[in-house]
Amino acid sequence: MRRALVLGGGGVTGVAWELGLLAALVERGVAVTEADLVVGTSAGSVVGAQVRSGVPLQGLYEEQLAPSTGETAARLGLWVVARLLWAGGRTRDAVRSRARIGAMAVAARTPSEASQRAVIEARLPAREWPARRLLVTAVDAASGEFVVFDGADGVSLVDAVGASCAVPGVWPPVTIGARRFVDGGMRSSVNADLAAGAQRVLVLAPTSASFGPMPRLAAQVAELRAAGSRVVVVTPDAAARAAIGRNVLDPARRAGAARAGWTQAAAVADEVRALWV
């Protein structure tokens, strides 16, 4: 496997920033959409599905610039963050930590699964799994097991992406069969280690936050490099962080985040091109 594109989580602003950056890279002649593998976590699963849909990134980027009128802003507020830290940070056992977060997510008052599924479905240009390899991450809310969907398991793309985006305490866990799933970012905000075996890895990480026993992005990147992969990691620059703001779930920040991603591409294009060609 030559090239892997890893897309991390970061809310609606993370989707916008990633799309702006990717669209601008393609505009500059860097064929980032031609990755042999795309790994998507949370917001990155939305972008991954969009990248693999075949719809031109320029159009997807322009959609991010549309007014957010009528969209409801959610908030990963201090109370939710405190509950996540309390649930997941009390043990060094990663699986147990995720199971406690899952229990918190199941007990939380959130919008209905049906309403959130409709939101996810509207964000995906295609509803079927792509022919080219896409991995979507999630966590079993009951067991804490880390799960990777790839289309070979009979799970619909909409449900897989919905599960990956199910932020505990904000959105409802997603029911698939007899199991319920929460955000793949509860294992790692990026899950870059899933690109193991790729010669070249491009990681877009709107956030690299971690807590408790979560694996750190730096450690995952170090492991990839130790195994022989060339890795470039792109995170939001100062202008992008300002555009994103403190609430990554606020759609009013989406257009600014998308433009910031587009602008930032100029500074990273040469490094990404050297990796990708």
Catalytic residue annotation: 42, 183
Exposed/middle/buried for residue 14 (C-beta within 10 Å: 0-12, 13-18, 19+) = buried
Q: Following DSSP, what letter does each residue of 156-171 receive, concatenated?
A: -HHHHHHHHT--TTTS
CA distances from 248 to 19, 93, 139, 221, 231 (A): 15, 28, 21, 24, 26
Look at residue 7 and give its three-state secondary structure: strand
Say how many C-beta atoms besides its own lie within 10 A of residue 210's C-beta: 17
Distance CA 9, CA 45 (A): 8
The H helix count followed by the E strand count for the chain is 10, 8
d(CA 188, CA 160): 17
Q: Are strands 133-140 and 179-183 parallel, antiparallel or unpaired?
A: antiparallel
Greatest distance between any 2 Cα atoms in the chain: 48
Residue 45's Cβ-count burial label (10 Å; 0-12, 13-18, 19+) is buried
**Torsion over CA: 8, 10, 15, 20 (sign):** negative
